[in-house]
Amino acid sequence: MSLNYAPNEISAEDYLQGELLADYKHEYIDGEVYAMAGASEYHNLLSLNIASELRSQLKGNPCKVFIADMKVKAGPCFFYPDVMVVCQADNEHAYYKTAPVIIVEVLSKTTRRFDQMTKRLRYQQLPSLEEYVLIEQDKGEIQVFSRSDAWQPCFYYLGDEITFHSLKVTVRVEDIYYQVDNEDVLAFLQGQS
C-alpha cells in the first residue's frame, strides 16, 4: 500500500466523519490525511493467514482479532493496521480501537520505511501494545518487536515458530506464508519434499 498526501490539515473529528463516507481509506497523521492504495495478493494472503492463525488459537478467549478495516488511534494519529489483536474492553468507539496488544503490518516497497519507523514509533507509545510484527511479502522474514525485549527486533524465518508471549500463542512461520509463492517460500517447500 502506498500513501498519497492530501495537503489540507483537518481535525480528528472531521477525519473520522469523512472516513464514514469515503470510497477508500485514509490514514490521519498529525492533522494531515493520506489516501491509501490497494494491497497486493501476497499482502492480502499474509494478513489473512496471520489473522486466521491468531483467531483460531484465541477462540474462547476475550481477545478479538481485527483486520485491515479497523483503525487504531495512536496519539493524535489514526492508522489502519493490517492486523491487530485487542484483549481488553475497547468498545467505546465502533470504528477504531485504542488498546491493541499486538499490531501486524505487512511490508511493501512503498510503505516499508513508514511502517518500520513512523508507525513503529507511534505504536510503541501505546501503553497496551506488547508486540509489533513486520512481515516481508517478497521474502520469508518476519520481525517481532516486543516491549519485553526493549523493542529490539527478533527475526524469524521459514522453519521457525513465533511465540507471541502477550497472547500465549505460537505460530509457525510457514503457516503465515501459506499460498505465498515468493522465492524463499518455494525454496523452503522444495527443500521439504
Q: Can you tell me the distance from the alpha carbon of 187 to that of 190, in angstroms, rounded to the nearest whole number?
A: 5
Query: Residue 52, SS3?
Result: helix
Grid cell at residue 155? 527475526
Note whether 81 and 105 are within 8 A (CB).
Answer: yes
Question: Would you say residue 4 lies in a domain?
Answer: no
pLDDT digits 0-9 by tens, 68-95: 899 999 999 999 999 999 998 776 788 9
Residue 166 lies in a domain: yes
Domain that holds residue 164: 39-192
Kindly give the confidence (pLDDT) of every residue in the chain, 193 residues in length, as a single tens digit, with 9 standing for 90 and above: 344 444 568 899 999 999 998 988 898 998 888 888 778 999 999 999 999 999 999 999 999 999 989 999 999 999 999 999 999 877 678 899 999 999 999 998 888 888 999 999 999 999 999 999 999 999 999 999 999 999 999 999 999 999 999 999 999 999 999 999 999 999 998 998 7
Specify if 111 maps to a domain.
yes
Structural domain count, the chain: 1
What SS3 state is found at 174?
Answer: helix
Q: What CATH number does residue 61 fall under?
A: 3.90.1570.10
